[in-house]
Amino acid sequence: MNNEFFSFELIKTDPETGARAGILHTPHGDILTPVYMPVGTQATVKGLLPKDLKELGSQIILSNTYHLHMRPGDELIARAGGLHKFMNWDKPILTDSGGFQVFSLASLNNITDEGVRFSSHVDGSKHFFTPELAMEIQHNLGSDIIMAFDQCSEYGYTHEQAERAMKRTGAWLERCYAAHNNPKQALFPIVQGNMYEDLRAESLNRCLPFVKHGIAIGGLSVGEPKPLMYEMLDFLQPRLPADVPRYLMGVGSPDCLVEGVLRGVDMFDCVLATRVARNGTALTSRGKVVVRNGAYKEDFSPLDPDCDCYCCKNYTKAYLRHLINAGEMTGAVLLSMHNIAYLHKLMRGLRESILGGYVKDFAKEFYRIQGGE
């Protein structure tokens, strides 16, 4: 399902697991999949410059519709020439719909079939988000991939509650497509339905008529046990369209990336890499390293012996521990660099193993080195 601006080449699918390697062509460049997308919520990946991200291997980043609408305002960004020019990033950008933030951050007043009334978490001002407004904001931002406005139901919802949110998401999807008018932006529908297979199947069927360039899976990694998330992915995998990229929203821990790829997912995003970095935690080939711990006070070895990022080539665990415990921002910057570099390297390894026909062996080795995590 292509147009002159977007196309997806599925290069190889692993016959045993369904893991996929492909290329997504966009107006701002090609994306080799599977791919991890760093999150730049406020039009910046915290602590890192665009040149850093390019050197680390970032192919595409994610920004947030809700936050940028609240400040500095999507109309201002449009006047600046769009999000790419505003933040000086010339590679692809994906923006979420703002739905998750509307439901999780804002003080809600009312959710109706028409939209959501809420108070801003920034200044308490009153707002009314609709599917049409979500499209207008993302049109102003000018991102390459935009998301339909959806209602993400929380883990623990009853079947009745989840069904109501799923059907509302389906109705909003129709309105999003009616309002979407820019062929240079690929609109992805989002499969919802909580942890109920029948609702997931119905949501997917509602999405299929609108799947033009990709499809997203939402409402996972929202507090449920990881095995339950994998069960939902196992259920969806054979039912998802094969000719477009599949995006698992909000998932980015190393083990979940591996498990998601083994279940046919192509795209992932998560704030985890930079968030844990700011708390002094590194994601490494040997598992998590909490550098603020006393065990690293006189550890003059690199953070990850298998990593060649700027942080690992130039600094020791002892120095990083000192920076984190002294509250120096450089510590968070260096750990963020490493964490993103590590996740990109992991995804490259997964892609190479799919192309080489050894993805299951790659996953086994990943868990062996990680110590069974």
Instruction: Judge whether 313 lies within some domain.
Output: yes
For residue 220, the domain's CATH number is: 3.20.20.105
Catalytic residue among 14, 74, 150, 269: 269
Of 270, 296, 317, the one marking the end of a domain is 270
Residue 2 lies in a domain: no
222 lies in some domain = yes
Summarised one tens digit per residue, pLDDT across range 74-83 is: 999 999 999 9
Q: Are residues 67 and 205 in the same domain?
A: yes
Q: Is 162 in the same domain as 266?
A: yes
Q: Which domain holds residue 283?
A: 275-373
Residues 310 and 166 in one domain: no
Query: Could you report the per-residue pLDDT of 219-276, keeping only the tens digit for each?
Result: 999 999 999 999 999 999 999 999 999 999 999 999 999 999 999 999 999 999 999 9
Q: What is the pLDDT of residue 2?
A: 64
- Rounded to whole angstroms, how far apart are CA atoms 205 and 196? 14
The one catalytic residue in 96, 144, 150, 304 is: 96
**b (16+ CB within 10 A) / e for 166-195:** bbbbbebbebbbebbeeeebbbbbbbbbbb
Residue ending a domain, choose from 244, 270, 296? 270
Q: In 3-state terms, the chain is what percent helix, strand and coil (to 5)? A: 45, 20, 35
Are 305 and 254 part of one and the same domain?
A: no
Q: How many domains does the chain have?
A: 2
Contact 228, 246 (CB under 8 A): no
The answer to the question of residue 346 being in a domain is: yes
How is residue 28 written in tokens?
């701002």
Three-state DSSP state, 121 = coil
On whether residue 1 sits in a domain, the answer given is: no
Q: What is the pLDDT of residues 42-51, one digit of tens each?
A: 999 999 999 9
When pLDDT is averaged across residues 133-160 and rounded to a whole number, the result is 96
Co-location of 67 and 147 in the same domain: yes
Active site residue 306: no
pLDDT at position 372 is 45
Q: Are residues 251 and 290 in the same domain?
A: no
How many Cα neighbours within 13 Å face the side chain of 188?
Answer: 26
Does 200 lie in the same domain as 150? Answer: yes
Does a structural domain hold residue 281? yes
CA 257, CA 84: separation in Å to the nearest integer? 27
Q: Verify whether residue 96 is a known catalytic residue.
A: yes
257 and 307 inside one domain:
no
